[in-house]
Structure formats: C-alpha cells, structure tokens
A and B are shown apart, each in its own frame.
Chain A
Amino acid sequence: MEGLIPRLPGGGGVDLLLFFQSICSAMPQLEELSVIKIDTLIAIIAAAAAVIALLISLRSNYLAKKSFQLSKIELDSKKSNFKLYLINALRFKSKENQESRILMFNISISNLSESKNSFKALLKIEYIRDDDSFAKTLIEHDHNLHSLIPNNNFSFFLNDINVSEKETESKWLLFKEPKHFLNYRIERYLLEVSDINGEQKQLESTLIKTFQLND
C-alpha cells in the first residue's frame, strides 16, 4: 500500500500516508473502496493504453494513406501529359517553283509532366479526288526542308522533338505537300503529335494561309 502512494519531495509522501491511514481508521469501509480504486485505476490505465494504441494505429493509417496519395500524385505527374496549340499555318510557295509547296505549322507543345518527353509529328491530309473519292495521306515532319525557304530565321523543330519537364516549346513544323495535291480539294489538315509513351494529340486546321515570295 505504502509503495503505491507517491512520495512527495521533502517527506510529503509520509504526510499523505498518515492522512490516508487516519481516514481509513475513521471509516473502515473506505479501505475496501481504496482497493477497488486501485483495480479500477489499473483498468483505466489499460483502457487508456488501448485508446492510445488505437489512436497511434489510426494516425499511422492516416499517414500511410497520405503517403500513398502523394506517391500516386507523383506517379501521375510523371505520366505523359502534354497540350498542343496551333499558332499559325502557312503554305509556302515560291514563284519560281509553284509546284513545290511546303506546309508550315507554327505550334506550341506544353509538356505538363514532371519528366521530359520526346515527340514525333505527322500531318494527315484528308482530300477529295477528281472522281469525288475520299482519301487520306500521312506526311512526316522533315526538318531538312528548311533549306528550301530562303532568307529565313524561323526556329524549326528537329525531327525528334524533345521538351523538358514543365516546359513549352513554340517552333515550326515542315511538311512537303505532294505535287499531285495541286488539283485536289483538301478537306482538312490533321496535325498528329505523339510522344514516346504512345500518347497522341491532334490539331485540326481547315484554313492555311498562303505565304509567297514574289519576284
């Protein structure tokens, strides 16, 4: 009994013991009560420990969930995510060679991902032949065509387009328009940009401005 009662510094514990003993001698039934109190105290401590353990486990569960969500966000941010924006579309014609026509698209590629990405650009032309039959053709962006545009200071995308994480690149794409298209009616131009993960985005253009160098 004595060992369970805390001793206060300076002999305070002894005073407390004497105080309890005097109360117990005065009221014998209190001795029984004090025994029950110790059992209850142990039970309360055990219950409190159980509650604390529960709280700790809830907290660790919450932290684990949060860490999972953060990992998921991080993983998602590294996945392919890009946006395209068509700034201008031109058909370059030089007077000396009217049959040689280059389609120029000024576009922006915004890489919204947390990791850098590589892209390829294709132009899909949908056209109608003289006999009203519908056809499609695919042309790859060709950086080497830049030499056919005289005195230019355009910035052209390379054939393999690389865009750093969270960056936007605005440059020009070049496509050689096949000669037999001169007499066909073009329905629409679809610019397809796909990344190394196979993610694909399209831009549509029905109107292309003529850009001509006259003599």
Chain B
Amino acid sequence: MINLDRIQRINWPVYEVVSDGAIAHPDIAEGRVIPAVVIDTKGNQDVQELISTHDDSPPGDATYTWSTKPFNKSIIFLTIKFDKPLQIQFSITFNIPKQSIIIDGIIKSRGFYLLSGNSRSKVSDLSIKRIVCEVPNTGFDQIWENIYIKSIIKKYQKNGLSKKSAIEATNKHLKSSRQLWSIRNNSHT
C-alpha cells in the first residue's frame, strides 16, 4: 500500500551522475574511502558557487532525503537541501543496475564528495573543486539493504544459479564489494 502523504512532486533541479570514483583522505572521515560523484549541473551557478565556496570541506547545514520513484524501484533520488550559506535544493538520480556500488558506498561511508563537471571529468583531477557531503542515516539504510540484496540475487538467478546458490553468491558479492569502503588512509600517522 502506497502512503500518498509520502509522495512528493519534484520541482527542483535533478542531476544525473556522469562520472564517479573514490577518495581516501587522512583528514576526512578518519581516512575512510569515500565515493566521489560528478554531476553535470549544466551551468547552474548556485551549485557551482556552493562547491567553490566550500572546496574540500563540509558545506554547513544541509538535509538529505533518499527517495524512490513510485512503481519504479530502479531509480533512487538523493535530495539535498542546503540552508546556509546558500539556500538551494537539488536531487541526484542514481540508476540501481548501473550505480548501486556508489549508493552502497555513500550509505556505508556516510558521505560523498560532490564535484561539478562532465562525463570526461576525473575524480583524480585535483583542479576540480569538490565538497564533502555528510549523509546521516535517515532510516533508509534497511530499505536500501533490501533493494540492493534483491537486485543482486536477481542477477545471479539470471546467470543460472538456483535461489539458494544465488543467496550464497550474494553474500560473497557484498563481502568483497564492501571491502573498498573499509580501507583507511592513515598516511599522517
């Protein structure tokens, strides 16, 4: 049963992830590996200004909301609302079959680097300005876990595995893919 009160029309800019990567910095998030997401803001100056003002630092007060499309579980939105110093709101869309690793990384690392660029932009290019977004658990963790596990089981079943074998394969899959987010960069120590 869909709770209609929880359905909201998006009337703010929505950006797609055009490139991604991962960075571990000893001064940020205790050196954990954090996903980096490049969005193409198509010249939206608000977002570019926000990123250049807070280069490499957390951007003040912000609220984060994860949401899915009604009747379409393959797209996930992360809506970010900044209150200070700029008041802006925008959403980033993630395609689950293609970008589940990034969503999982954001949830496991509790944050991500946000960069503005295009599909040729590389996360390793230090000339591209970036901000660190800290995404708290808003109750979406368990929902994501269920969506993610179901999508992986389905892929293995398509590959010819029985349901029991697909569940076992999914456990190993999650274990190895999440090893990336547990690395620590302690180069200062």
Contacts and interface: CB of A to CB of B under 8 A. Distances in A.
B24 interface: yes
Contact of A108 (B169, B182, B183): B169
A75 to B, nearest CB: 18
A112 B22 contact: no
Contacts of A133: none
A168 B168 CA distance: 8
A71 B132 CA distance: 61
Nearest to A87: B177
B136 interface: no
B24 A170 contact: no
Interface string A88-100: 1010010000000
A155 B22 contact: no
Given A110-B159, A168-B165, A211-B21, A88 B180 contact: yes
Tell me the dominant secondary structure on chain A's binding face.
strand
Contact of A93 (B124, B182, B185): B124
A153 interface: yes
Contacts of B160: 83, 110, 112
A214 B20 CA distance: 16
A85 interface: yes
A151 B33 CA distance: 11
A197 interface: no
A192 B20 CA distance: 25
A185 B160 CA distance: 36
B176 interface: yes
B96 interface: no
A88 B183 CA distance: 16
* Residue from A90, A169, A212 whose CB has the most chain B CB atoms within 10 Å: A212
A172 interface: yes
A213 B161 CA distance: 37
B84 to A, nearest CB: 27
A166 interface: yes
A213 B177 contact: no
A169 B172 contact: yes
B156 A214 contact: no
B155 to A, nearest CB: 7
Interface of A: 83, 85, 87-88, 90, 93, 106, 108, 110, 112, 150-155, 166, 168-172, 209-215
Closest 3 CB pairs of A and B: A168-B169, A210-B21, A170-B176
Given A83-B159, A209-B20, 13 more contacts: A87-B101, A87-B176, A108-B156, A110-B159, A112-B161, A168-B156, A168-B161, A170-B173, A170-B175, A209-B21, A210-B22, A210-B122, A213-B185
